[in-house]
Structure formats: C-alpha cells, structure tokens
Amino acid sequence: MLSGDLAAVWEVPLSDGVYTIEFSHGTTTGKRIVCVNGQEVIRRDWMFKLVGKECFTVGSCDTKASITIEAIGGLDYEYTLEVEGRSLQSFTDQRAKVTTTWLLSADGQHCRVVLEKDTMDVWCNGQKMETMGEFVEDGTETHFMLGEHECCIQATRSGKKKKSIVHVLLVDGVEIPAAAQQ
C-alpha cells in the first residue's frame, strides 16, 4: 500500500474495467511506488535521481502505461500518466470514439458492459463475453448472455454524417441507455 507520499491518483477506463492508479513519490529519498487497484506493481525505495519514468501494464490485456516525473522548480514535481503512449486525456478521448459503455443492474449485480466497436468484442465486469454476431436487415446484432438474461447489441445507421453507426444494448428486449464514457 501507499505511504504518506501519495503524489497522484488517476482513473483509467479500459474494456475490462476502470483502474485506479496511485503514485507515491518520496521527494527526499526518491522512493517510487505505483499501485493499480491497490496492488503494488512497482516499488523503488532509494533513487538518487528524483525525476524519470516508471513503466508498467494495466488490465488483463496488459495495456502499457507510464508515469513521468519532472521537476518544475525547487522540490515541486509534476506527474504525468500516459497510456498506450498518449496522455490520459488523449487516450480517454480516443476510447470514447472506439467503445460504448452501458451501466446496468442484472440480478442485483452492477454490470459494466463495454463494446469495442473496432473488434466488436463485448466485455462485462472484466470478462470478455462469448458472443454471436449476425447480419440483419438494417445492420448487425451481437448476441450474448448475462446470466439468464438475453442481451443484444444492435448496430444500425444513424443517418447522420458525424455519427454514422449507433449501438443500442437490449437486455431481455429492454433498451439500456449508454453511459457517459467510463
């Protein structure tokens, strides 16, 4: 776990979940600790160089991430998280374009369903779902089960240039509204 030197905390949305990254930096000892969802993934206790970069992976797909430590004057530091070589904001903005997320409750359990539009992979609470896709008259349907619930993601044309394809999740025939990107 992190000590009192907590320097930064970030939330990283991936298909298999939203990960909390915590970075602890001892500005006198150079100590660096990186935790992902409370699990320590990097610990360096004595570092003479107080600036630099720490690289690690996040999630079940081993998404590459790095924290850059830069001095901004005196004993003040700036910490930047990059994911897949992009700033967290740029990475999140890109994910918003290539994924759709739904939050729902099924059988008393909170579910986070994510569609990766480029691969049509569907994830639920960190698990890649077994799906069956089919072409239908006005687009495609991707079917999967959520426990005993029949789910279908319909992809149809929107008729608009900016957003040409709309994805809708139906659970037992009931439409679930998409969440703000997470």
Percentage of the chain modeled with pLDDT above 70: 95
Domain assignments of the chain as residue spans, ordered by start: 6-84, 99-176
Q: How many CB atoms lie within 10 A of CB 35?
A: 19
Buried b / exposed e over 97-126, threshold 16 CB at 10 Å, is eebbbbebebeeeebbbbbeeeeeebbbee
CB 58 within 8 A of CB 36: yes
pLDDT tens readout for residues 102-126: 999 999 999 999 999 999 999 999 9
Under DSSP, is residue 6 helix (H, G, I), strand (E, B) or coil?
A: strand
CB 120 within 8 A of CB 100: no
Question: In this structure, what token pair is assigned to residue 98?
Answer: 């290539």
User: pLDDT confidence of 46, banded at 50, 70, 90?
Assistant: confident
Give me Rg for the CA atoms of the chain: 20
**Per-residue pLDDT averaged across 22-31, rounded?**
88
The pLDDT, as a whole number, for residue 1 is 42
Question: In this structure, what token pair is assigned to residue 60?
Answer: 């079940």
CA dist 71 and 50 (Å) reads 8
Buried b / exposed e over 57-85, threshold 16 CB at 10 Å, is ebbeeebebebebeeeeeeebeeebbbee
> Which pTM was predicted?
0.86
Taking the CA atoms of residue 141, residue 177, residue 58 and residue 24 in that order, the dihedral angle to the nearest 10 degrees is: 180
Q: Is the pLDDT of residue 94 over 90?
A: yes
Domains 6-84 and 99-176 share a fold: yes
The closest of 11, 13, 58 to 182, measured between CA atoms, is 13
Mean pLDDT of the chain: 92
CATH C-level class of 99-176: mainly beta
For 88, which DSSP code?
A: H
Assess if CATH 3.50.50.60 describes domain 6-84.
no
The pLDDT, as a whole number, for residue 61 is 92
